[in-house]
Amino acid sequence: MQDLPTSLEIVGVVSDFLREQILPGLEGRTKFHALVAANALDIVRRELETAPVANNDEREHLMSLLKSEGSLDELNNRLCEQITNGDMTLDTPGLKEHLWTSTLTKLAIDQPKYSAFKKALQEGRS
Amino acid sequence: MTDSNDKFSKALSNIALAHLDAHNISDLKRLSGGASQETWSFKTHNEGHIEHLILRRAPGGEGRNSSGTAIGLDTEAKLIGLAANANVAVPNVRYVAKPADNIGSGFIMDYVSGEALGAKIVRSDVFDAVRPMLAKQCGQALAGIHGLPMSALPTIRYSPASQEIKHYHDIYKAHGHPHPVFDLAFKWLSDNTPADDRITLVHGDFRNGNIMFDPIVGVSAVLDWELAHIGDPMEDMGWICVNSWRFGATEKPVGGFGSREDMFAGYEAAGGPSVDPARVKFWEVLGTLKWGVMCTTMYEAFRSGIDRSVERAAIGRRSSETEIDLLYLLAAD
């Protein structure tokens, strides 16, 4: 067990520090890269918040979809194979829902401002 | 100025004197944008006559671009010249560098005024009046590019649909990280590959961001020809519809500024054959997937240590944008 602050708290405070203390004093390429850096920390923050539960759910969905066990990585590789060889198609019960759910989770962590993600939320696809 | 900059400036002055009808140059500066090529802006002077010119050259003045799919700058200049003859809006090429010029491989063209930043074309009110015409004009420009006689073209890569799919599938597999949505898209593409029944020059990077737009006349120059190749002309139509180039305006599929119907109408009115929307969709799916795979490629440059910038690392987390776009294209209902 780790002591406090939590990793989530550390990443949050460093991101705030970059945005509030560092970015206003920068210009040009350096400012752009500092903004990319702050955004990258925000990805880590959202992943720390969301991924533990979401990845567990994804693994369970995959095990029931593929009727087999394994790590998240192994199961995803198996899913890729079955899609490629045609054993699983969009008509396979549960596949389409699984792909939407896992993709929306990625977007919620990686790029929550992306146009198609916002559209999907409006349409209630989550 | 550093020594190498000084040498470069001197070499450019010599070109201006010998080939551009000028006595000297001024205001030489590197423009942002164009990661694979350098773009420089400068002015030439002859008595009171001043011209604004652009130099496009290989990074650091080397002979060749390192990217495997890019054509050389001299070939790029040739293609732009051919397009100009066919009345496609392109910059006027003034001079193609020779080895003796000592600026590396590159060419000089007239400066074209306008805006090439995609987000501005989509959002700025300066473009409100002209925006409804842009998709049609893009269709017209593509009809001109695709109508160039094959016999006149320099030797460039031939890459029909099946080859494009294989190319990006190989890159994806080498990446070694599972993306089930990519596999879904590759499978759909291989099941829906169109016949190679019309083969023409393909611009290869025809999208919002590589086209100069003027607030009054609309399309003023088609830029960035380095990915030109021979293939299915519908590749260009699909690429400009990829959601990544709509800059948030998802409801306007052509570059975030227009409709497919308008682009097709412009294409057909300018002499292009009638457009099969299903084939354009095939290329939009392939284009979307291609950008997703390219995001992983840029991350690979980080992982391998070639480019340790935060930007290269972070772009790997943008491939998910293309996955949601692919789901909208293939699994929306």
pLDDT value at B16 more than 90: yes
pLDDT tens track for B78-104: 999 999 999 999 999 999 999 999 999
Express each pLDDT in B105-138 by its tens digit. Answer: 999 999 999 999 999 999 999 999 999 999 999 9
- Region for B93 from its dihedrals, namely left if φ exceeds 0, alpha if ψ lies in -120 to 50, beta otherwise: beta
Count of residues making up chain B:
333
Domain boundaries, chain A: 7-122
**Fold of the domain built from segment(s) B118-330:** Aminoglycoside 3'-phosphotransferase; Chain: A, domain 2 (3.90.1200)
CA-CA distance, B64 to A7, in Å (whole number)? Answer: 46
Amino acid at site B53: L
B181 touches chain A (CB under 8 A): yes
> What is residue B121's DSSP assignment?
H
- B3-110: CATH topology is Phosphorylase Kinase; domain 1 (3.30.200)
Cross-strand bridge partners of residue B213: B115, B219
Distance CA B212, CA B29 (A): 20
Alpha-carbon Rg of chain A, whole angstroms? 19
Closest CA to A73 of A93, A51, A58, A90: A58
Q: Is residue B118 within 8 Å of B23, Cβ to Cβ? A: no
Distance, CA of B115 to CA of B221 (rounded, Å)? 10
Euclidean distance between CA atoms A9 and A15, whole angstroms = 10
Q: How far apart are the first and last CA of chain A?
A: 33
- Read off the tokens for B21: 């009808």
Q: In DSSP terms, which residues pair with B24 in a beta bridge?
A: B45
Q: State whether residue B328 sits within 8 Å of chain A by CB.
A: yes
Minimal CA separation from A28 to chain B, in Å? 10
Least Cα separation, residue B268 to chain A (angstroms): 30
Residues of chain B contacting residue A112, judged by C-beta atoms under 8 Å apart:
none
Instruction: Read off the pLDDT of each residue in B302-325 and give the average, rounded to a whole number.
Output: 93
Could you give the CA distance from residue B15 to residue B22 in angstroms, rounded to a whole number? 9
| Yes or no, beta carbons of A99 and B243 under 8 Å apart | no
ipTM: 0.96
For residue A83, the chain B residues in CB contact (below 8 A) are 180, 183-184, 187
Q: Where are the alpha helices (DSSP H) in B147-244?
A: 161-175, 180-191, 234-241
Residues of A in contact with B182 (CB under 8 A): 80
Give the start-to-end residue ranges of the domains of chain B.
3-110, 118-330
From chain B, pick out residues whose CB is under 8 angstroms from the CB of A90. Answer: 184, 330-331
Q: Give the separation between CA B295 and CA B200, rounded to whole angstroms.
A: 28
What's the pTM value of the predicted model, to 2 decimals?
A: 0.94
| Per-residue pLDDT tens listing for chain A (126 residues) | 999 999 999 999 999 999 999 999 999 889 999 999 999 999 999 999 999 999 999 999 999 999 999 999 999 999 999 999 999 999 999 999 999 999 999 999 999 999 999 999 999 997
